[in-house]
């Protein structure tokens, strides 16, 4: 399985993602944002970080960079695209997934482990993950998911919510919502579910000596689903 | 020609920064404030000399980059 990780000026989780993808069997290529062509890929990842210093709005500049037109075409033709953290912010700015990510409700940068409940498994990202709840890491200032009421209805009708913030038993309540996101949304799909944007970092959960292993579960499962 | 643009958050969108500014103003003794909403202001110096054409281009800029229309409104100020 071939993957590509796009590096934007200010990306800082691109190499972590490279390590994670390779660890679970992807042949990964790093792709510079100013390139026009995407290498042949089964998965394209927009990594976390602070592309363009978060100027104007997080992800807004990166969404207009040269490579993104190829990424958008790839996604629109059914290609698997995943945006993590700043990558999620870039995805919403391209319009590939609905909504926006606002400043965290309590104006704090949040850096901690959280639990997320998988809302939908009828997709290649989460199909066959046994766990209902995963422990991931979040680190962001703008992760407060927001969309219009019409968009929310559409997202819910199409089952586009991927994961919600919850407690370790999968209970989705206000008190487990770290950033003020509508309905505790931590990640969403596009309509066809070949594009996933999420704030948590699975690539930070792939090493027993450093963290948990729920990221390992996620990546192992992902590569199997793509085969 | 210089054209100015003001970007504001839409009414229903939570503005935590505006809220904190409001609270701080309140703490400073400005206690008659109802609400504070924070926005952005741009000055765009364009080579275009035709007023209407310049405004049309700036409007395109607003839609494509300067504003995110899910949460923001833009207002173009007429050059004088």
ipTM: 0.82
Q: Is the pLDDT of residue B51 over 70?
A: yes
Domain residues for A183?
A: 2-226
Neighboring chain A residues of B16 at a CB cutoff of 8 Å: 102-107, 180
Q: What CATH number corresponds to the domain at position A95?
A: 3.40.50.880
Question: What percentage of chain B exceeds 90 in pLDDT?
Answer: 88
Strands laid side by side in the A2-7 sheet = A27-32, A2-7, A43-46, A80-84, A195-198, A185-189, A161-166, A110-118, A133-140
Neighboring chain A residues of B65 at a CB cutoff of 8 Å: 56, 60, 64
User: Which among A90, A142, A148, A154 is the top mutation candidate for probing chain B, defined by the most B β-carbons within 10 Å of its own β-carbon?
Assistant: A148
Q: How many domains does chain A have?
A: 1
Q: Which residue of B has its CA nearest to A108?
A: B16
Tokens 């390139």 sit on residue:
A35
Average pLDDT across chain B, whole number: 93
Q: How many domains does chain B have?
A: 1
**What pLDDT does residue B80 have?**
64
Domain residues for B22?
A: 2-77
Tokens of A170: 């999968």
Q: Which of A165, A209, A37 is nearest to A6 (CA)?
A: A37
Q: Which residue of A has its CA nearest to B39?
A: A56
Positions of chain A with pLDDT under 70: none
**What pLDDT does residue A222 have?**
97
Q: Is the pLDDT of residue B79 over 90?
A: no
Higher pLDDT, B14 or A139: A139
d(CA A91, CA A135): 23
User: Which among B71, B72, B73 is the top mutation candidate for probing chain A, defined by the most A β-carbons within 10 Å of its own β-carbon?
Assistant: B71
**What pLDDT does residue A76 have?**
98
Tokens 């009414």 sit on residue:
B11
Tokens 């980059």 sit on residue:
B65
Q: What CATH number corresponds to the domain at position B10?
A: 3.30.1280.10
């Amino acid at each position: 399985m071939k993957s590509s990780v796009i590096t934007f000026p200010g990306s800082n989780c691109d190499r972590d993602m490279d390590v994670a993808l390779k660890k679970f069997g992807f042949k990964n290529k790093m792709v510079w944002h100013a390139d026009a062509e995407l290498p042949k890929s089964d998965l394209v990842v927009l990594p976390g970080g602070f592309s363009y210093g978060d100027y104007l709005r997080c992800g807004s500049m990166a969404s207009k960079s040269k490579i993104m037109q190829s990424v958008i075409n790839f996604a629109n033709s059914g290609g698997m695209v995943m945006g993590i953290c700043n990558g999620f912010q870039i995805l919403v700015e391209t319009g590939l997934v609905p909504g926006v990510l606002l400043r965290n409700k309590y104006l704090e940068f949040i850096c901690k482990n959280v639990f997320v409940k998988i809302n939908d498994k009828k997709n290649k990202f989460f199909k066959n993950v046994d766990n209902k709840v995963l422990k991931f890491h979040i680190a962001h200032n703008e992760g407060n998911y927001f969309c219009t009421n019409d968009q929310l209805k559409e997202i819910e009708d199409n089952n586009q919510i991927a994961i919600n913030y919850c407690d370790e038993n999968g209970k989705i309540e206000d008190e487990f919502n770290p950033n003020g996101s509508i309905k505790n949304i931590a990640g969403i799909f596009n309509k066809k579910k070949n594009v996933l944007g999420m704030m948590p970092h699975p690539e930070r959960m792939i090493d027993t000596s450093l963290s948990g292993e729920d990221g390992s579960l996620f990546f192992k499962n992902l590569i199997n689903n793509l085969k | 020609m210089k054209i100015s643009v003001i970007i504001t958050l839409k009414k229903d969108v939570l503005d935590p920064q505006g809220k904190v500014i409001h609270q701080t103003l309140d703490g400073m003794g400005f206690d008659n404030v109802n609400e504070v909403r924070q926005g952005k202001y741009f000055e765009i110096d364009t080579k275009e000399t035709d007023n209407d054409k310049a405004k049309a281009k700036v409007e395109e800029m607003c839609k494509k980059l300067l504003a995110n229309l899910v949460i923001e409104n833009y207002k173009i100020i007429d050059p004088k």
